[in-house]
Structure 1
Amino acid sequence: MPSLLVNIDVPDVSAAEAFYVGAFGFTVGRRFGGAVELLGAGVPLYLLEKPAGTPASEVAASPRDYGRHWTPVHLDVVVEELEPALARAQAAGATVESPIREAVWGRIVLLADPWGHGLCILQFKGRGYDELSSPT
């Protein structure tokens, strides 16, 4: 079975470390090159220092831009209590992009980190996403 690593490009790895540790309580694992490994999310989260304006890849049409951007991939941070987690994220520099919404599976709020990456804070209730599934 494959494993999963999560990488986030940021222009300032020290500032990103302060944000993700302060906002979500991740802990620092290793430091290497221009990267920091954060632990505590079930999979390692790597913050990779990549300056704005550099090529995103060999085939990308546009360079890295850390203004708010849309991507279909984002982080969902699952917490026990949404409001305190939201307050910590805001204090660390997150931008709130939606009101807290209620669903049958729990509660959610949409945010952006200081580098334009979208993320959500989730608080499950009951069986979480299983509240949406039917018994087989």
Structure 2
Amino acid sequence: MDLLVNVDVDSIEEAIRFYGAAFGLTVGRRFGASGVEMLGSSAPIYLLVKAEGTPASSTIAQRRTYDRHWTPVHLDFVVQEIESAVQKALSAGARLEEPIATHKWGRLALMADPFGNGFCFVQFLGRGYDEIAE
């Protein structure tokens, strides 16, 4: 099974600039004016234009908003050095939502992109998650 990562945005050009500057991703393929494939991660990330206010799904009343929102699914970017990754993302327009925290398994920065999507930077320490695995 392959994994595809799709991120809804309201401006494709702003999203390309942000995801390029913050994470070093590059444009792979464009899909007209409504989508772009970003490469440079372990899985491609597809940025998809969805207008603000459009239905999120036909089964719920919720409408798309690009204010900061919560979802139980988000992207984690594993980095070698978390401070420089955070600074790079902040310079590109991200928000740091919590100070960098250190855990037994590694360091974690809770962030948000300019489109309201949460993401994290993870810097593993020692054996990473194996430090807490049972």
TM > 0.5 fold call: yes
Offset, 1:130 = 1.1
The answer for the alignment partner of 1:39 in structure 2 is 39
Distance in structure 2 (CA, Å) of the matches to 1:78 and 1:17:
20
**Matched positions, count:** 133
The answer for the alignment partner of 1:105 in structure 2 is 105
Query: Secondary structure of the residue that 1:80 maps to in structure 2?
Result: coil
Q: TM-score, normalised by structure 1?
A: 0.94
The answer for the alignment partner of 1:93 in structure 2 is 93
Query: Secondary structure of the residue that 2:87 maps to in structure 1?
Result: helix
Identical counterparts, % of pairs: 56
The answer for the alignment partner of 1:12 in structure 2 is 11
Offset, 1:39 = 1.1
The answer for the alignment partner of 2:55 in structure 1 is 55
- CA deviations 1:75-126 (Å, max 9, x no partner) are 1011010011000000000011000100111100101100110000111111
Query: Secondary structure of the residue that 1:120 maps to in structure 2?
Result: strand
Residue ranges of structure 2 left out of the alignment (5+ in a row): none
Q: Which amino acid in structure 2 is aligned with residue 103 of structure 1?
A: H
The answer for the alignment partner of 2:131 in structure 1 is 131
Q: Identify the range of structure 1 (71-80 vs 27-36) with the bigger mean alpha-carbon deviation.
A: 27-36
Query: Secondary structure of the residue that 2:42 maps to in structure 1?
Result: coil
- C-alpha RMSD of matched pairs (Å): 0.8
Q: Which amino acid in structure 2 is aligned with residue 3 of structure 1?
A: D
Distance in structure 2 (CA, Å) of the matches to 1:92 and 1:6:
20
Offset, 1:60 = 2.4
The answer for the alignment partner of 1:115 in structure 2 is 115
Residues 1:23 and 2:35 aligned together: no
Q: TM-score, normalised by structure 2?
A: 0.96
Distance in structure 2 (CA, Å) of the matches to 1:129 and 1:29:
32
Distance in structure 2 (CA, Å) of the matches to 1:125 and 1:22:
25
- CA deviations 1:9-58 (Å, max 9, x no partner) are 00001101110110011121110131010112111100001110111121
Distance in structure 1 (CA, Å) of the matches to 2:30 and 2:38:
9
Q: Which amino acid in structure 2 is aligned with residue 47 of structure 1?
A: L
The answer for the alignment partner of 2:2 in structure 1 is 3
